[in-house]
A and B are shown apart, each in its own frame.
Chain A
Amino acid sequence: MTQPLLTVKNLSKSFAARGAASAKDSRTIYAVDDVGFHVEHGETLGLVGESGCGKSTTGRLIMRLIEPSEGSVQFEGQDVLSLKGTDLKRLRKAMQIVFQDPFSSLNPRMSVEDIIIEPLVVQGDMNGTDMRRRARQLLDKVGLSSAHAGRYPHEFSGGQRQRVGIARALAPNPKFIVCDEAVSALDVSVQAQVINLLQDLQEEFGLSYLFISHDLSVVRHISTRVAVMYLGKIVEIADKKTLYASPRHPYTQALLASIPVPHPSLRRQRARIGGEVASALAPPSGCRFSQRCPMAEDLCRREAPAMRHLAASHEVACHFAERSGTRAASPKARAVG
């Protein structure tokens, strides 16, 4: 088996909570807690979870936009977290990121051309004429016109701006792109266009994506494999088919059940989960989902479940994953409301 493009192990990030009454009272938020996964060459790993669960932080940790507290990130066998100075700068050519907000991700004072070539300017191994030529090629590639090069971000719509953001990410010829909620801010029709664009580019350049989103339908469309996060931890990873057809973690099941079905008579029986997400300041002991889980038992409140393999490409962190499988098979039996 060849080495995966990206391997993440035990990745953790904790923040000191602000506003603590005294130094003694200072508490720690575990935004990302012991997260591990890998991304193969040319595949898309979807990362889903509700807001605040640490998906974006995970993306930024891998990119080293935030420094992790613990863990390791290997990119093509290189230890990303130990790189410094020039080596880190070189690595950034191979890893790029597309941001969520197409309005704040483009500098309003720079022309689109300058925005796109910024990575090339910073890396400094191309001359001005070549960079400008590349910017125009990229604009064509992402479905804008090279005539747009001299315009400013405010002259574009959200979808067009996101295309500029994608062009910028492509500029240094990366192998891996983190798409951090890259389509969440766009209208549904524009979402589809941008997703198709991402898929075309993936095919053409052999890109790998880490596709972060809270939208399960979008993730289902674009991903090869999907990881589900809850409160800073990954609870289930499986290839797309397995995850959507037979989810094993109760949280994944609840998430999938919450996707609206656009047909009145096909209304799904909802496996509702009660309560709110527990505070990351004081996560419940044992399994972090135990407070809301419909099948939690004493064991769950005592002991945090480790990730374990159910099948070759199906990992889950639940003590009762086998049992929950039967439940998914007959959802009506346990459904509420």
Chain B
Amino acid sequence: MKLYKKEGNIIQILSFPHETAEKGDYLLIEDADAAKALIAQVIDVQFASIPGVLEELLRSLPDGGELVQGEDFDPLEIAPHIAYIQDASLLICKIRASVENETLSPSSSWLPSRSQSTIKKLSVPTLLKLAGVNGKLPIVLGSTKDASLLTVDASYLDGRLNIITGKKETGKSHLSKLLMSNMVGYKATVVVFDLNGEYVSLGMTADGKRNANYDKIHVLTPSQNFKVALKQLNLHVLLGILIHALHLPGTSAREFRRIWQSLKERGCLTLHELGEAISSWHCNQHVRDALLSRFHALMNSGFFTDNTGEALALEESLFKAKEHGGAVILNLRNTSSIDRQIVVEYMLGKLVELLTSWKLKAVFLFAEEAHLYLRETYWDDIVTRMRHFGIFTTFITNQPDTIRENIYRQADNIFLFSFTNEHDLDVVSRAARVDAETVRSIARDLPPHHCLVLGKVVKDFPMVAKVRALDIKTMGETRLFFKDTDKYLS
């Protein structure tokens, strides 16, 4: 390999056919005289612009376009040399760091010697060692192209905002399960907003047996084993549900506050009493109607109860998880859109309450397709305010444009699976921790189950890894009509 050109932090390297470098590979450009080296990552592989190649290709075609057949007597065997030159490729590389005295720095301000520099591939383990990616809480994400393991440190997910994105069926949920299982293994408290009931079997192996995490997985299904008693509720949490999930106007909300305080003073915070109070409350008829309709929505959700015994599951699960590590899976599979918002609104309010009072230390929140249940104002809350309470979110989505641009800008880690759509790639490339060229070039060609890891977790050295398999029961499979095709063949 030969250094050809450098423009900004893009370096072009001429590579010959026996030197196999692919997108995503790291190269070490060493200048022995300067006692420095550059670490560059291949973000694109192009044909080298060799003079005469077009003529070479064209000359075998006569006017009719038919290929001319023939024989070459090439006694000196020049043809392999011609092929060697023709097949030379140009590696477009992004400078990631420079190395001096075995210390990495992000600077790329110096220029290595074009004639004297040596260029060689940098193996992932060497790079990880140089970058100090391996830590005390290792999570093996998978294997890299050179068959080495990509191991990241769980502590780099702590206090961070993460995004897992990619098109359908590329392995996003699989990776989130992997991260989650490992976090639980390190006694972390994990909460999952499980939209499709994919995570409910995290405690089971593929063949249906209990795995090591079985006792740490707590599945809560709203209105089944997850209910809330009015007495447990803080007024501001319920007002949040009424205003944000059920769109209660401000005037009505003020009346509701009075009703609530009245009932609370009398010690009558039950569903029945609340309904009665709203019906008999002296107020504008429209306000009463508005309050009644919201009351019936709460009743119909089945999520609220007067029986406090039924309403202990969440806190119990969270406290168990706090003690031994564990995941609280909020199964939203059969929950309607409105109810989903009610449940999520309650859950987030409850988490903030528990974290504020230091009953919980911190929570890792995994939110699948959050745009389907998270109200607009919560996005900013999650990345700014709630982070300070100790809610560290990982968004998982196959529609990257549903996540706001400011979330990408603040994301600390991005786990990017394959995307072919230019628009999707555009959205993701707005992330602050990555350059657009890397995202566009590498993510487009990622095979299924291969992930481009970006951000702090890999010390800003983008890495491609095949996500390792997990021995857990799969639940997120698409239900197919033509599953047994023989049945439909007559």
Tell me if chain B binds chain A. Answer: no
What is B's interface to A at a CB cutoff of 8 Å? none
What is A's interface to B at a CB cutoff of 8 Å? none
